Structure 1
């Protein structure tokens, strides 16, 4: 029986490692640089597209390597112009990502895991099984495909990227960091780090690691309650990462990066929407420079929560503003196609 050697995922290699492979093939270093440029700057997904390489070399590359490119499987268009995409990965797993157009920005919401392990009670993804982490190139591919979609449908490139799709980015730390490195690199997509926001449900030790790594991108914390009892109820991760632990980690992060933090706060009717809740949130906000995004809840079939009343939302925001806190009220986008915050859960096959 002949055993065929498994092909190497070429995008898992650094430029230096790729150069070593090319040396073994008897090829010059600059050929590896050309391939690296095709992969990361020009975002090609087929060796035959690398037109400045000889056909012989392209055939050699196809024998040794593979490009495990993600592809758009299904796209759904919302009445508000939001586009939700189901991406198919090389191993047939499916993930979702969303393109969110607005008058002054074009945002890609990308996933970092297939499913999620955190079981937040209000989030559809939390009811899925976490199958695996995404590789850096699979996160990068979502950005490339959403950018292409933005240009095709709205004649506008991406301006912002949010890691707010399926999964917990800080539980896939190394791969998320590598994806951001490729997205921001001059020999990558060359996007500014300040245009990228990574959202976490709150893992204290990893927030400190972001500080140690002195990251340049923005950090958002999905808070949703500034009271441990309530937060434990809706976000089980809080039992190991209490508000006190998170506050300490965030202060450490700010001391290292000088980056203010965004708190995401979904208002649930008669759960976390009182002025007493607003006072607890205001107290939590005193730990470091921050802003608060108040988010409309998007109901899911798995949970009994409902969105709070508009008057309560306005009163909650007004209270925070009186405390000197920078507050935005975010209206949902893509609700009619289950593309809004907390609604991502692969349904179509």
Structure 2
């Protein structure tokens, strides 16, 4: 049976009509699925019983299953989810005052092969479906409610496992589901899509207008980008910046540049000056992140004084800079770390059983 959470709103209307019911029933159904977050058709109390029975016969209503939860001392929550085919994927809830930002995954593994990233080292397993991506939000909202964490998920960042633009069709479906006014109502302003930048695909930001772009740059030169991001670096860095300059964003919008500072690789003042030159004609803000090392990866976190010096130089040159504090370090909250750890434990247990 097909999972009803895979349907966009127009598809749900069509399915309801095909089942012999009026289209307005789709609105009631959508609100139960996405706004109220019920897990069972029988709980949809304002829908006639015969329709509920019919839904249960013809459709499944399957959420990802939470297999492990970790909570950091700083309030960051990481959920390891099992999808219907057994694949494991991570989502992270990052607290900010009275709200949470949720970090969504869009692929099992990742095809980009970034050398500093736990997910990149896994390789690529498969794309997630639009429904699998969007239903991570349902699981997170239920987790917050059942644990008495009254705050809501206010912002979404596609910064979890995977490269969104290599799974754009399904990512687009998830955005259509998550932004629908009868459901979770996330506006473009509250959704950021983090991408390594895939040649020929950046146009989705000005043509589709479903999310704001955050570009994982992580290097001030082509040479360093090739070392850190071999997959993404096939698109020369100067061409990438030129394309970003041509994006048609709304008046107050700017491109976010993500830059992970890695000790001895891209964190010196010389690197900061190279970054200034590279970005001097781009309407952007820079999000600096101190590297959070994962197991088995040969890179190290930068010294705090180097981070501050790097940030200060950029500010002096007139850039808007935020220094994103690395959250959840005590629970391995960087993408892919919990999945890697959980699979290692499962394999060890499996081997001991033989």
Of 217, 220, 231, 1:226 maps to 220
- More displaced, 261-270 or 227-236? 261-270
Of 103, 112, 117, 1:118 maps to 112
Match of 2:177 in 1: 182
Query: How many angstroms does 1:240 deviate by?
Result: 1.8
Question: How many pairs were matched up?
Answer: 341
Deviations 1:19-41, CA, capped at 9 Å, x for gaps: 44444443333333322332233
Partner-residue secondary structure (3-state), 1:131: strand
Summarize the Cα distance change of 1:307–1:26 in structure 2 as closer, same or farther, 3 Å threshold. closer
Match of 2:135 in 1: 141
CA distance in 1, matches of 2:310, 2:20: 67
Flag structure 1 segments of 5+ consecutive residues without an equivalent. Answer: 1-6
Match of 2:267 in 1: 273
TM-score, L = length of structure 2? 0.89
2:189 is the counterpart of 1:201: no
Match of 2:350 in 1: none
CA distance in 2, matches of 1:328, 1:289: 15
Residues 1-349 of structure 1 aligned to structure 2 (within 5 Å): 7-103=1-97, 105-151=99-145, 152-213=147-208, 215=209, 217-253=211-247, 255-258=248-251, 259-340=253-334, 343=337, 345-348=339-342
Flag structure 2 segments of 5+ consecutive residues without an equivalent. Answer: 347-354
Query: How many angstroms does 1:344 deviate by?
Result: 5.2
Summarize the Cα distance change of 1:48–1:336 in structure 2 as closer, same or farther, 3 Å threshold. same
Partner-residue secondary structure (3-state), 2:232: helix
Q: CA RMSD in A?
A: 2.0
Partner-residue secondary structure (3-state), 1:347: helix
Summarize the Cα distance change of 1:178–1:25 in structure 2 as closer, same or farther, 3 Å threshold. closer
Summarize the Cα distance change of 1:217–1:13 in structure 2 as closer, same or farther, 3 Å threshold. closer
TM-score, L = length of structure 1? 0.91
Say if 2:292 and 2:329, in contact at 8 Å, map to a contact too.
yes
Say if 1:298 and 1:342, in contact at 8 Å, map to a contact too.
no
Summarize the Cα distance change of 1:271–1:28 in structure 2 as closer, same or farther, 3 Å threshold. closer
Query: How many angstroms does 1:104 deviate by?
Result: 5.2
- More displaced, 242-251 or 11-20? 11-20
- More displaced, 163-172 or 57-66? 57-66
Summarize the Cα distance change of 1:299–1:45 in structure 2 as closer, same or farther, 3 Å threshold. same
CA distance in 2, matches of 1:16, 1:266: 40
